Structure 1
């Protein structure tokens, strides 16, 4: 049973993880690979709305996606986009990245190889990963302007889509931990964390929502 306080703390983290950027036309959209095909659906929606002329999907596989996406996250995203009517000429695939930094670094290389001039990027992630993705992208590609995007949904809708409230809270806690420790390791830019968000995070850790925390000596992102 998840307490009222834990839900309130979870909502604070959920709201903080979302950047609240106003969407606008950009040079390209980059969809970050994960288990969530909603990233591809959102990329297609932004393409249809004329906000971007080109989509890049990036991601290999991970232990959590290998069974569902055996051909790789980016490849499955591309297949989804084509099913939804996006022409193949408007989709590039980067199938090797295994973490967020590589998503950005390798996507940049793919775009350079394709001769695409990039000044701005619509960066599409899972809803609770917006801030982490943005902070990493700004570190990896500082000369480009990033606009964060994700599938518009409430915390309750996201919990329903995952089907496991405790896992969702664990993921939100893990994402915040990385925002706290990774800037010091040079993995992402530093962002201010409001006191109420930090207090909510600490309470959730004490309540045992810790399965997605990493040991402080672990470096993978």
Structure 2
């Protein structure tokens, strides 16, 4: 059972993870592979709205997707996009990436090989991964304008869609830990973490929401 305080803290962290960017037309939409098929659906929706003329789906498989997406996250995303009516010519696939850094680097390579001129990227991720994806892209592709996007859900709606509040909070906490420690490893651009967000994160860790933490970097 999640306490009222933990629910409040999780909502604070959820809001911080989202960049709240105003969506605008970009050179390409890059959908980051994961267990969440909603990323593919949202990327397609943005394409249909005329916010990007081209889609790149990126991602291999992981422990959480190898059974559900045996052909790879990007391949399954592409198949979903084609089912929804996106023409084959508008979808590129990057099937090797196994982390966010590789998502960015390998997608960039695919676009360069295709001869696509890029000045801006609509970066589509899970809602709680927006800031992490943005910070990684800013580090690895600093000359490109990055606009973050995700399925427009509230924290409560996302918990309902997953069906496990504790798991969702674990994922929020794990994503924030990486925002705190990965810049020191050179993996992403530093993000300012407001005191109220840091305090909420620390309380959630003390309450045991720690299954997605990297042990050696626990607070």
What TM-score do you get using the length of structure 2 for normalisation? 0.98
Q: Quick check: 1:126 aligned with 2:126?
A: yes
In structure 2, C-alpha distance between the alignment counterparts of 1:217 and 1:165, rounded to whole Å: 24
Partner of 1:192: 192
Spell out, residue by residue over 1:24-65, the C-alpha distance to the aligned partner (whole angstroms, 9 max, x if none). 000000000000000000010000000100000000000000
Hey, what does 1:113 align to over in structure 2?
113
Q: Secondary structure at the match of 1:216?
A: helix
What is the distance in 2 between the residues matched to 1:203 and 1:29?
Answer: 36
Q: Which runs of 5+ in 1 are unaligned?
A: none
> Following TM superposition, by how much is the alpha carbon of 1:208 offset from its aligned partner in structure 2, in angstroms?
0.2
1:175 aligns with 175
Given the alignment of the two structures, is residue 158 of structure 1 paired with residue 122 of structure 2, yes or no? no
* Corresponding residue number in structure 2 for 1:25: 25
Matches within 5 A, 1:47-86: 47-86=47-86
1:22 counterpart SS class: coil
What is the CA distance between 1:114 and its match in structure 2?
0.2
Question: Which position in structure 2 is the counterpart of 1:149?
Answer: 149
Distance (whole Å) between structure 1 residues aligned to residue 216 and residue 98 of structure 2 = 20
- The change in CA–CA distance for 1:217 and 1:19 in structure 2 (over 3 A counts) is closer
2:181–2:217 contact (8 Å) kept in structure 1: no
Residue segments in structure 2 that go unaligned for 5+ positions in a row? none
Q: 1:192 aligns to what SS in structure 2? A: coil
Structure 1 counterpart SS, 2:56 = strand
Query: What per-residue deviation string (whole Å, max 9, x for no partner) do you get for residues 3-31 of structure 1?
Result: 10000000000000000000000000000
Misfit runs of 4+, over 4 Å:
none
Helix, strand or coil at the partner of 1:121: strand
Aligned Cα root-mean-square deviation (Å) = 1.0
Q: CA deviation at 1:178?
A: 0.2
Deviation at 1:217, TM superposition (A): 6.7
**CA distance in 2: counterparts of 1:94 and 1:215, whole angstroms:** 30
